[in-house]
Structure 1
Amino acid sequence: MALSPQWLDELKGRITLSALIQRTVKLQRAGREWKACCPFHSEKTPSFYVNDQKGFYHCFGCQQHGGAIDWMMEQHGLPFMDAVKELAAEAGMEVPAPDPRAARQAERRATLHDVMAAAQQWFVSELAGPGGAQARAYLERRGLSDHTIRQFGFGWAPDDKQALKKALSDFDERLLIEAGLLIEVEDKIPYSRFRGRVMLPIQDARERVIAFGGRILQDRDGVAKYLNSPDTPLFDKGRTLYNIHRAAAASRKTGRVIVAEGYMDVIALAAAGFEDAVAPMGTALTEQQVELLWRMADKPVLCFDGDKAGQRAAMRAAERSLPLLRPGHSLQIVQLPTGLDPDDLIKRDGPKAMEKLLAEPKSLLDLVWQHERDVAPLHSPEDKAGLKARLLGHVDAIQHPDIRSLYRRELLDRYGSFAFPPRPQREFRGRGGFQRDVPQRTSPQVVSALRQASGTAFRDMLTTAVLHGLARHPSEIHRHADAMLGLAKGDAQLAQAVDFLLDSSQELEPAANSPISVGDNLPPPPDKARFSFLMEGSDPDDAREDLAEAVALLVERPALEAAIVAATRRFDSDPEGAFAEQQRLRKRKLEIDSRLGQMTRKRAAAEAQEDNDAATGDAEVAEQETD
């Protein structure tokens, strides 16, 4: 359906945006505008403003921006045309007629909605009638209250192939087939899809029934426990979430959305007070469903059973989501105790047990790491190499470059600590009794070989510092191997130095011999390269952390320089965009230089403090001798 800009402007002009938003958000007058705490993210001080004159809202905290149609799409989960229709009805405007074919399709959809509404009424009446006694007893055994049964629209489909067709005889048989209520088989009379099942309506964001799910009363071999409607013009299971029309409103209050595995899980959660719960349609989460979830909350909580099937479902959701990740948007995972679903847990331990699990979810990164670490034995080097390959396979699926880089760094850090744990080492006491780890005195042969391998690689201050840092902290060499090898591509001398460090890591293992200065063994770095991880007697944890940051900065710097060159080349074709990109990149480069300066000052301050401590100690000794 084509809507002209003029018609859309007329629609927006008839809508008072603040009145629309005030239905769900408490606004306060602020001069000519309105303000509130942002409904899109948690905050204590209002940064969300609504301007009726200009017809838009804007949050200065999370940068959400839009008009009336955007509001209906983001806050109510409506597709564009549905949002337009809702606003047009309020404004008293007629939506322009589409082309004839589109008009026929819209008319058929409207008729199908009528069919589904009539079917829902019939299922509900059957549950309440004499034929629904067994179904009512089943729901009672499940612990469902009358309120919950009414709220979720439970019904009953009699075990009769022609009952529904007779009940909906006012509708054409073709419509019943198209709606998925009847099954058509060649040379046979169409018959009811749902028979002998407790029925649940599946509704869209506008609360219209678009499909059904049915459950048998007793599990039987060869019979599906749950049966859903097939895909129809109204229902696409990959783009639908069960209970979204209720959960969308609830999630605006809680700032959360829970994704359970099935309908009954959602109903059990809602009955216990967790009304912000949805479920996919019996399949793994799709990309479209993830996007629907992100409209409701930045980090939806996936709630899976603790058994192997639940773990596999969690990983399938992770694999679908990794390519979609963007800043501020991810998934969180809660795995229930083995053998329990949400209903079981709530009945056994109460809602507080569920709330406790939801308050401590696992991150997506934690899930990937733990699953791949535990999925197969890790006894041999080949096993460990397989773990690394699987982790990097997940990383490569991430499309956003910054998130991909951060995932790579974090997962390789965990892999390095797991695959190359530090060897047991003795301790010695430095000044003040602080225990520090130091490298052993490196053999002259190793020093000579490293000097020869490094060549001109030591001319760069940061590169020099990092190579010295890896030599001083050899347990970190394999942790940063991939980053250094990637950096060394195209630089034969640097590659030779990195290869030598990898080959010599065992000879460089920390030990209990007397402490030495790195300068005793390696070419000294430039005077300006003053980093904590090169400092005598530095705290080992701080040194390793600073070394990791230095490696990250070292890797990012050439990528930034290449991106600046690429942006400069685009000035002729896109001067405005190229300039903005160049400014952003140069700002990041200045941030890197600033951080390096901070690391330098950190070391200088530490040295000054150490000199001061030494002077104080000498004074105390002198005073004691005087006494």
Structure 2
Amino acid sequence: MLTPSFLDELRARTTLSAVISPHVKLLRAGREWKACCPFHNEKTPSFTVNDEKHFYHCFGCGAHGDAIRFLTENRGLPFMDAVKELAAAAGLEVPAADPRAQEKAKRQATLHDVMADAAAWFAEQLDGIDGAEARAYCSKRGIGAAAIKRFGIGFAPDRRNGLRKALERHGDDKLIECGLLIRIEDEPKKEPYDRFRGRLMIPIRDARGRVIGFGGRILGAGEPKYLNSPETVLFDKGSSLYNIDRASPASRASKRLIVVEGYMDVIGLDRGGIAEVVAPNGTALTERQLELLWRMDPSPILCFDGDAAGQKAAIRAAARALPMLGPERTLSFVALPEGQDPDDLVNSGGRDAVEALLAAPEPLVDRLWRHEVDATPLATPEQRAGLKQRLIDHAAAIGDRSLSQLYRDEWMERFFALTRRDRGAAPSPGAPFTPQRRGTWVKGKGFVPPEKPLEDATLAIGRDSVGPHEARAIAAGLTLFPDLLMEEAELLGALPFADPVAEALKQRLLDAALSGRPLDSQGLLPILSEARTAKLLSEVQRGTGVVFSFNRNETDPARGRADLKAVIELLGARREIAIALATATRRVAEGDEAAVAEQHRLAQANQETIKRLADFSNPD
């Protein structure tokens, strides 16, 4: 744990302009320095550096911080790495952690040296006689000398002990620990051998630019196409991103971050002048990698291949991201033309072709909607019910409750608009059904004139929120049967209560239920005894105008619980009917005659729901 006094001394010993000047061109302005801000694009300098006060500030975008903040924000270094770098430059010793952590750090530092030497040796082999085929491959892919140097690309000759002999000064144990050699566990007498042989070698670096692993691409036929370093002390493939060291500062300058599928995709876009690109290390995106992405950009663009495998990977990433979404954490999507990868796109149209795709990424809410709608036909009630449930499940997976509700509302509005349009589809799947304009043939009656649009008075029965009296009755009922809070949490969260007092009590009860504590009548007592909650409950009980069966003293508890559950679900159904009725009514107003019958059907369904609700307020 670093003390405030140590951090203050570190700042005092650090000349801020010296830290920033290697990355930003500074101009002296009196006692300060000025520059164009590295955190946003500008032509007139508004970024100032004050060495005396040890902070920088941009009057354009508001970026503000000290030397540590600059290294974490501009270069993407973890906090402790930034502190260690500044301390080394200032001649300060960072307070030691516990002995085990010290030993691990020391071992990691040694292994970083091994990996750096391995990367240098691979680079030498690419330039040598053995590297001719690898150089030809790079040339074919349009990877020139500058890109080879920029990414540190090398070559592993097809020899069992090439690297082992070249780095024998480090010893087999360290090479094995770095994942560079393979030891045959069942035959300890056999010598270890090189893991990477006959492959183009692509170094994987951490945020500080240190080599932590390799991706090796085979040049001829064979499997696997890519061979990655195994998990080591340095390399956790699920917690690192390829090209993060270069993409992090580039992302801050461009205000965007692009995620592609593989190493060559990153290098391909770099050829097109786009540097703010990362890739997972041969795996699907993990939660830890998503966290890294969101540190750099609130809405990374996933740019995956347009084939089935690429789009499956995109949807898998979307589903994995749902529990972690928030107002400043989302994803957007771009699909490459089928059969093309970033190399092909850059080759055919250059940067302009790529930018045209990236200009309009598809938001997460639209991408998941499109995926689920296209997943199955929607010709039968069962298929439509399946679509609805999948959408509800996706929304429920979102951890942020407010955002979860917004997603659900958005998708349900689209669902009802889509299914009302397609209802009654004829033999061809999805074909719209249009009733006869002259009327409908009814046996014994002949042609019956088509139904007329409903009057405003009839439509007024629709309601998409819970009325004040009903709301207070339900809120009071939930205090009697608190176990229903978790069971019906999703539906209760979606039901707006027109009465603010009942709504506040409902939200307080839901917060308690979703906090993870077990809730029964006894478990709820401490919550209800809190001053604010007790006041809400008192007002709700005093103002309850509708007496449902579950609030009557003489009602059997088992029946009361069942009735409360039924009322909640009926109110949820009534709300969905009301939303659909509003959509149908809008279509009628726009001249859509086919919507008239749907409008009547929904109004009748609404009346039936109201009658069923009345049964619970007037029990037998």
TM-score exceeds 0.5: yes
The structural deviation recorded for 1:213 is 0.9
Tell me the secondary structure at the aligned position of residue 420 of structure 1.
helix
CA contact (8 A) 1:440 1:508 kept: no
Question: What whole-Å deviation, never above 9, does each CA across 1:465-517 have from its counterpart, x for those lacking one?
Answer: xxxxxxxxxxxxxxxx998756499988896777668779889965999x9xx
Superposed, 1:475-490 pairs within 5 Å as 487=497
Q: Count residues with an aligned counterpart.
A: 479
1:292-371 alignment, distance < 5 Å:
292-371=292-371
The TM-score, its normalising length taken from structure 2, stands at: 0.67
CA change 1:413–1:53 in 2 (3 A) is farther
Q: Indicate conservation of the 8 Å contact 1:425/1:512, yes or no.
A: no
Give the TM-score normalised by structure 1.
Answer: 0.67
Cα distance between partner residues in 1 of 2:586 and 2:395: 35
| Gap change, CA 1:166 and 1:365, over 3 Å in 2 | same
Conservation of the 8 A alpha-carbon contact between 2:248 and 2:296: yes
1:68 alignment partner in structure 2: 67
| Secondary structure of 1:334 counterpart | strand
Question: How far apart in 1 are the matches of 2:192 and 2:330?
Answer: 45
Q: Which residue of 1 aligns with 2:78?
A: 79
Change (3 A) 1:406 1:67: farther
Counterpart mapping for 1:46-445 below 5 A: 55-56=54-55, 66-186=65-185, 187=187, 188-220=190-222, 223-421=223-421, 440-442=453-455
Spell out, residue by residue over 1:255-283, the C-alpha distance to the aligned partner (whole angstroms, 9 max, x if none): 12211111111111111211221111011
- Are the structure 2 counterparts of residues 402 and 34 from structure 1 closer, same or farther at C-alpha, using a change threshold of 3 Å? farther
Unaligned runs of 5+ in 1: 428-437, 462-480, 516-539, 541-627
CA drift of 1:215 comes to 0.8
**How many Å separate the matches in 2 of 1:217 and 1:415?**
49
- CA 1:71 to 1:399, structure 2 compared with 1: closer, same or farther past 3 Å? farther
* Partner of residue 2, structure 2: 3
For structure 2, the residue ranges without an aligned partner over 5 or more in a row are 423-432, 438-450, 472-490, 507-545, 549-566, 590-594, 596-620
Shift of 1:151: 2.2
Q: Aligned AA for 2:196? A: F
Report the CA distance between 1:16 and its aligned residue. Answer: 4.0
Distance 1:183 1:508 in 2: 65
- Contact kept in structure 2, 1:113 and 1:210, CA below 8 Å: yes
Offset from partner CA, 1:590-615 (integer Å, 9 cap, x none): xxxxxxxxxxxxxxxxxxxxxxxxxx
**Residues 304 and 311 in structure 1, CA contact (< 8 A), matched pair in contact too:** yes
Q: Is the 8 A contact 2:207 2:244 kept in 1?
A: yes
- Tell me if structure 1 keeps the 8 A contact 2:153–2:203: yes
**Deviation digits for residues 368-402 of structure 1 (CA, Å, limit 9, x no counterpart):** 11111112222211211211211122212222233
CA distance in 2, matches of 1:54, 1:492: 67
Query: How far off is 1:425 after superposition?
Result: 10
- SS of the aligned residue for 1:440 comes to coil
Q: Which amino acid in 1 is paired with 2:193?
A: Y
| RMSD of aligned residue pairs (Cα, Å) | 4.1
Q: Give yes or no for contact 2:111–2:178 (8 Å, CA) kept in 1.
A: yes
Q: Describe the shift of the 1:133–1:29 C-alpha distance in structure 2 as closer, same or farther (beyond 3 A).
A: closer
Structure-1 residue corresponding to 2:608: none
C-alpha distance after superposition, 1:14-34 (max 9, x if no partner): 224465446545779999988
Identity %: 52
1:426–1:240 distance in 2 versus 1, CA, 3 Å: same
Q: Deviations over 1:136-177 (max 9, x none)?
A: 222222232222222222211122212211111111110000
Output one character per residue of 1:419-441: Cα deviation in whole Å (capped at 9) or x when no partner. Answer: 223997999xxxxxxxxxx9834
| Alignment-mate amino acid for residue 259 of structure 1 | V
| SS of residue in 2 equivalent to 1:234 | coil
Q: What is the rounded CA distance, in whole Å, between the counterparts of 1:498 and 1:225 in structure 2?
A: 52
Distance 1:33 1:329, change over 3 A: farther
Name the stretch that deviates more: 75-84 or 28-37. 28-37
Q: Give the SS at the match of 1:170.
A: helix
Secondary structure of the equivalent of 1:399? coil
TM-superposed CA distance for 1:90, in Å, is 2.5
Q: Offset at 1:224?
A: 0.3
